Structure formats: C-alpha cells, structure tokens
Structure 1
Amino acid sequence: MGHFDKTTCDCCVCPMQCALEQLVEPQTQINVIVTTLGTISIFLGTFTLTEVKDFIAKTNVEIDITICQIITVGFQTLPTDFKLKPVRKDIVGECVCCEDPMTNLLVGKIGTNISIPSGGIISAGVKDVGEGIVLLDNINMGVGIPITPFGITSTCLLDAIGPPS
C-alpha cells in the first residue's frame, strides 16, 4: 500500500482492504456487508469476494463496493493465516482523532462481548484488534438472522459500542 500521510486512507481504508484481500483466495463465504448507506446481502445468501484492489471489493454476485464505505463484513470461516495490521500510535493526521480512540478502547475489550447499536449488532465477541479493524466472533444481529461466526468492522466508522443487549 502507498503512503497517505496519515489520512483515513492510511489508518482506515488500507487496513480494511488488507483484511478483505485475505478473504478472496480461500473463497470465504460472506453473508453480510454493512456500509455507511445500509446493509447489503442479508437476503442474498452467502457470496464471495472475487477481487479486492484499487479500493473496490468485487463479489461473485456482481456487486462492487467501495472499501471506504464498508463498516462491517460478516463471514462463515476465518482463514487460518488471517492477520490484522498491528495497532500503531499515530502522532499527526486524521488517524489521531478518528481511528486511534476507538481502536485503543477496543484493545481493552478483547475477550469480552460488546454491541454496536447503530450497526445492528446486538452482541459480538471482540476477538482481536488491529490498526483500523476489530475482528469479531459470534455476531448476533437479531431475530431471524443466523449468528455470524466471524466479522471485521472498521474502527474508523464505529460511532458507538455498548454492552451486549
């Protein structure tokens, strides 16, 4: 990835792109993508990512999504070599006030359950935290929606977390 001088591209979009790239080759089954404008795919069944590059995620159901708008991606299996970028402490730029606060808060929540009220997540376990991304497990999005085993959420686009509902 290129250097973006500590903008949201650097600490938010690039980490999401790197995480999504790891879901392409094992053809990880995805069952939900939540964007800043709504939820894609809850009723499409599962689908896969076919390509992730140039800040666009392409799917096998011909839906292309701009990565900077992705809040959460829920998927069925966690690739064995899945890695998040390490958490960094930024000194300047948008990352200091946008990504760092929520990332640092979530580091202290690893191993606990949280909710993400505005994202429709009633309960999820915080499995790991990396730069710009929190890895969740056992995601409950409510009545009629099966538990999603794993998910990644942008810490940059999280507006609030709370206790499980």
Structure 2
Amino acid sequence: MGQFDKTICDCCVCPMQCVLEQLIGQFVGIITTREGNELTINNVDDFTVFATDGANQNYSIPICNVSAVFSIPISLQIELKPSRTNVKGECSCCEDPTNRLLNTLSRSQELEFTFLNGSTSGFIRDIGEGIVLVESGGFLEAISICYLNKINTPSPF
C-alpha cells in the first residue's frame, strides 16, 4: 500500500490500485465505466490492471476507469487505505462528503448502491479512502466512492 502522492489520483485511482494489487491471481469481476468482465488479475502497475479472461484474452485496463470490483472471495482480508481528513482539492467536493456520509450509515442494515455501470445491495464491511467495501451474496465488492451515483439509505436526512 503506497503513500498518497497528493495528486488528483488520490481519492479514487490510488486506493483502487491498492485493492487490485491485493487481488493478483484472483478471478474477479471488474466493472469499468463502459462494461463488466470476469477476469484473472495478473499484474497491477502504473495505474493499469493487466488481466486475462477464460479464453486467455489479455486486457490492459486503466484503473481510472474501474468503478467496482466484484466477486471477491469473502475470505480475503482486503486492506483499505485509511480515510484522510482536512484534504483540499478535487477529493473535497466528491469523495470526502460521500465518505463522511457512508461512515454515518449502519453497517448492520442492507443498503443499495448504484455506481457507474452497475449496482448492488449489501452491507458495508469497511470504508477507506476512495473505496467502500460491501458484503453481498457471500462475496465482497470494492466500489469506488468517486463513481457512486446513489445510495438508497434507510431513512431521509
């Protein structure tokens, strides 16, 4: 888990790269801003995930386009970058307020999450900088907070 570089990549790309690095060798689903594929992650480097599908077709996916990773085995201990406070810049207008909201929600109540090119329902397992880890159907899903479009919360605020 590398250090934050104090760039515009800090709130979504760097944290997602850290999650993907922990999944090298795993067959998971990767949802991008355009489509979803089930792939085996072979390597993660320079903000790119390198993967293959069941037919050994190779994929190079820019991490800035990854909105979620699903079908992560629940037995894996995914370590998230800790949330930061007092951050200025692009993260302060999108990721930071949503991260704060997620931290107020009950982890024992099922929620619905809609994100770029997908949706899921489940229980919040963990929240870190740029990532919410959701337990759903016996698997984990790592969703980029920057790509969350809607959270169906249990009651209005």
Q: Any idea what the Cα deviations from partners look like across 1:62-117, whole Å, max 9, x if unmatched?
A: 12211011111102414644210011113311111121011111112251321123
Root-mean-square deviation (Å): 2.1
Residue 48 (structure 1) aligns with: 40
Q: Which amino acid aligns with 1:5?
A: K
Residue 143 (structure 1) aligns with: none
Rate the CA distance shift 1:17–1:114 in 2: closer, same or farther, 3 A: same
* 1:35 maps to which of 32, 38, 41: 32
Does 1:88 find its partner at 2:84?
yes
- Which segments of 5 or more consecutive residues in structure 2 lack a partner in the other structure? none
- Which segments of 5 or more consecutive residues in structure 1 lack a partner in the other structure? 139-146
* % same residue: 36
Greater fraction strand = 2
Residue 14 (structure 1) aligns with: 14
Q: Which amino acid aligns with 1:131?
A: E
Q: Which amino acid aligns with 1:109?
A: L
CA distance in 1, matches of 2:72, 2:106: 20
Query: TM-score scaled by structure 2?
Result: 0.82
Does 1:162 find its partner at 2:152?
yes
* 2:103 maps to which of 76, 83, 107: 107
* 1:98 maps to which of 69, 85, 94: 94
Q: Which amino acid aligns with 1:153?
A: I
1:69-148 correspondence to structure 2 within 5 Å: 69-78=65-74, 80-111=76-107, 112-118=109-115, 119-138=117-136, 147=137
> Is the 8 Å Cα contact of residues 23 and 79 (structure 1) preserved in structure 2?
no
* 1:60 maps to which of 25, 46, 52: 52
Q: CA deviation at 1:2?
A: 6.3
SS at match of 1:156: helix
SS at match of 2:149: coil
Query: TM-score scaled by structure 1?
Result: 0.78
